[in-house]
């Protein structure tokens, strides 16, 4: 007798949660997230926060070079005016394990046009020694089904170290099963995916994002799938604001048992928001 899809999903979720706990050594009580994303820029060169109080023990660094500017010394590139204190970051409880982003460009069309050069620069940056527990690497050129050039990625990713991750999104709303099939059609079998939930951009609601997460977990397996919860919302005047606790908690609760990273901690989740999330979560 074969196992049902539901029982297979339950097993996948248990494996994902177990792998996450094993990878960080322990899990916080009533954990809402497993990790945070940090997108280094000149305004946030040294992030401080209490994201571990929500369960975060892992850090995804979006990049260490962006637009030709390096956030680490010794790369031969132009250094940012203020460099992060990487040694201090590596001692933070929310950075027990780090997935280190390599070379990117902030404007997506430019990043896609320059993907070959970014892959080559990333290959060189991956050898740079960092005072962090680097558990994997991340290539920060994001993929979605509208990008014809995505078929170039497998050959470019081959030269990068493992474990290796990319990120993907579906603003075109092709659906969870087609999204899973699209990823499987080109993604190397040893590369993992951070999927952006789209809730922060109002592309979908948490319940729909959960269906995407379930489908991608089934397609990729627990060791190759992570879900990014967008912790921002658009401002009517343009740009983005931090999501409120009332907006974020339904996201986090909808994704129960998935391995969730919040985007991004330093820009959108201050200590007051962390404490309000904890209080509301305890209250039920």
The pLDDT value given to residue 5 = 56
In 10 A of CB 243, how many CB atoms? Answer: 21
The CA angle 123-125-129, to the nearest 5 degrees, is 130
The residue-averaged pLDDT of 237-245 equals: 97
Q: Which of 81, 144, 133 is nearest to 111 (CA)?
A: 144
pLDDT for 25 equals: 40
What CATH number is associated with residue 75? 3.20.20
Residue 284: per-residue pLDDT: 85
Whole-number pLDDT of residue 28: 40
Model confidence at 95, pLDDT cuts 50, 70, 90, reads very high
Query: String of b and e for 26-60 (b: at least 16 CB within 10 Å)?
Result: eebeebbbbbbbbbbbeebeebebbbbbbbbbbbb
Most distant CA atoms of the chain, gap in Å: 62
For residue 227, give its domain range: 5-283
Q: Quote the number of domains for the chain.
A: 1
Q: Please give the span between the terminal C-alpha atoms of the chain, in angstroms, as a whole number.
A: 39
pLDDT for 12: 65
pLDDT digits (tens, 9 = 90+) for 98-155: 999 999 999 999 999 999 999 999 999 999 999 999 999 999 999 999 999 999 999 9
Q: Determine the Cα–Cα distance for residues 132 and 134; give it in Å rounded to an integer.
A: 6
The pLDDT value recorded for residue 30 is: 67
Rounded Cα gap, residues 230 and 233, in angstroms? 8
Predicted confidence at residue 130, as pLDDT, reads: 97
Indicate the SS3 state at residue 98. strand
pTM for this predicted structure:
0.92
> At 1, is the pLDDT very low, low, confident or very high (cuts 50, 70, 90)?
very low
Mean pLDDT of 252-266: 98
Q: What is the pLDDT of residues 3-52, one digit of tens each?
A: 455 556 666 676 666 655 544 443 444 699 999 999 999 999 999 999 99
């Amino acid at each position: 007798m074969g196992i049902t899809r539901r029982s297979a999903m339950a097993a996948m979720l248990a494996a994902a949660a177990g792998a996450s706990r094993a990878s960080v050594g322990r899990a916080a009580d009533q954990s809402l997230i497993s990790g945070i994303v940090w997108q280094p820029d000149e305004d946030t060169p040294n992030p401080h926060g209490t994201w571990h109080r929500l369960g975060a023990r892992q850090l995804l660094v979006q990049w260490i070079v962006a637009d030709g500017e390096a956030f680490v010394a010794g790369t031969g590139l132009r250094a940012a005016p203020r460099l992060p204190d990487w040694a201090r970051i590596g001692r933070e409880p929310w950075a027990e394990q780090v997935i280190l982003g390599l070379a990117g460009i902030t404007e997506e069309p430019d990043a896609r046009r320059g993907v070959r050069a970014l892959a080559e620069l990333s290959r060189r940056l991956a050898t740079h020694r960092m005072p962090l527990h680097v558990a994997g690497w991340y290539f920060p050129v994001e993929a979605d089904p509208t990008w014809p050039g995505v078929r170039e990625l497998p050959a470019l990713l081959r030269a990068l170290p493992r474990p290796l991750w990319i990120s993907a999104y579906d603003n075109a709303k092709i659906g969870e099963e087609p999204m899973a099939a699209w990823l499987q059609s080109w993604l190397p079998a040893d590369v993992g995916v951070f999927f952006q939930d789209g809730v922060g951009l109002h592309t979908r609601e948490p319940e729909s994002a959960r269906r995407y997460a379930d489908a991608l977990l089934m397609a990729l397996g627990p060791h190759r799938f992570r879900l990014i919860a967008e912790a921002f919302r658009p401002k009517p005047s343009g740009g983005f604001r931090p999501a409120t606790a009332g907006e974020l908690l339904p996201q986090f609760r909808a994704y129960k048992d998935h391995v969730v990273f919040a985007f991004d901690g330093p820009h959108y989740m201050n200590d007051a928001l962390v404490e309000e999330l904890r209080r509301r979560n305890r209250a039920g």
